[in-house]
Amino acid sequence: MNVAVVGTGYVGLVTGTCFANMGNRVWCVDVDEKKIENLKKGIIPIYEPGLSEMVLHNYNLGNLHFTTQIQEALEVCNICFIAVGTPMGEDGSADLQYVLSVAESIGKYMMRHMYVIDKSTVPVGTAGKVREKIREELNKRGSDLTFDVISNPEFLKEGSAIDDCMKPDRIVIGVDNEDAEETMRELYKPYLMNTDNFIFMDIASAEMTKYAANSMLATKISFMNEISNICERVGADVNKVRQGIGSDRRIGYSFIFPGCGYGGSCFPKDVKALVKTAEEFGYQAKLLQSVEDVNNAQKHVLVEKIMERFGADLSGKTIAVWGLAFKPDTDDMRESAAITVITDLTKAGADIRAYDPKAMEEAQKYYLKDNDKIVYCKNKYEALEGADALVLVTEWKEFRSPDFYEIGKLLKTPVIFDGRNQYSAKHVKKYGLDYYQIGVRPSCVGD
């Protein structure tokens, strides 16, 4: 099949590449000329395990094309995915300007019946707006061409997106006629040769499903962080509580790890957007608003612990920070807890020695570019040199089993503040290190 994917960000590039890998001819379209030229040279704008190799392979095979001209793609394609960003507006709503701009271009340049598929995360009712915009442009042309608008939300996880795309646990599709359903079945059939995990529904329900899924996962995280804060105050150990409730099959272990808050491109934006959508329809989403409030507060918890130990004025203190990305196996720093932690620490007077396996460039170029109190280090142990404490923010695999003897030797003050509860307090304590976790009272050598 001939498929156009408009937008070569995280979702668009992964989606287009995976379709090409199944033998389709795919045109990835983006208005960013530099990005398109770099993609043609094999330079990938994001870090995602396995993506670079798959892009290069399919580009060399001729299955994957990159262009800045949507009309070039629509000359040969009758399927067009809209996979552009829906950034958060000032009021928390999803900004649809890029989605509707693509819809306008489709209306201008489509040459045959088109299946227009919303892959971007969009609020309920967006399909209708896309349909209106395309029809408006067709009317200007005096054209009677027909088209279908379909909702096909993505459920990719950064760090495992290729696997999620090639081996989906479900494919949610919102359609309003049998022809559109059959076309989507044919397109996705290679991904589900051994299963039938298609979930077809009306378009509004498909649009809502993505927001509901992300908001549910965000709710689990904020719930566990709320429990962790209560545990610490009453003297319970949240790590043991997590095991106790996670063994209940109705609850499970996924997304109930305590920490210093969720981040990324999806959860923060989607929770806010769903709250805003509810407001627009006259409903106050109190639970979801609380999810966001708890998460925002949780990002400050690590610094509160540091100040309890060293005092509110951190002038003259140097803090080593392990992890900048919002989660492991990505360079994405959007809404990362590390941004809040480092900003709070430097405002209090501290200097920072930071290390992350993949997100250092993102931090320096974008998210922390104006903070001149940060030294970026080549490895995790270099970050410890001359530091008064270690703060772990992102649970990269290379941080899971560090040399605690080396940590104690390099730090001026033998203390670890763990924002992801990665270690055994008893084990850390054996090396003469004080250990602060989320949701557990501190484990100090002198206790």
User: Where are the strands (E) in 358-402, listed by range?
Assistant: 374-376, 389-392
Our answer to whether residue 266 is catalytic in this structure is yes
Give φ, ψ of 144 to 5 degrees. Answer: -110, 20
End-to-end CA distance of the chain: give it in Å, rounded: 67
Distance CA 183, CA 177 (A): 10
C-beta separation of 435 from 442 below 8 A:
yes
C-beta separation of 239 from 439 below 8 A:
yes
Token digits of residue 235: 């003297």
CA dihedral sign of residues 200, 205, 208, 209 = negative
Among 129, 46, 48, 44, residue whose Cα is nearest residue 94: 129
Task: Determine which one of 18, 231, 266, 377 is catalytic.
Answer: 266
Which H or E element spans position 99? helix 97-109
Q: What is the CA radius of gyration of the chain?
A: 24
Give φ, ψ of 435 to 5 degrees. Answer: -135, 120
Token digits of residue 2: 């001939």
C-beta separation of 389 from 415 below 8 A:
yes
Q: What is the 8-class DSSP label of residue 190?
A: G
Among 361, 334, 359, 434, residue whose Cα is nearest residue 391: 434
Give me the amino acid identity at 102: V
Enumerate the active-site residues: 266
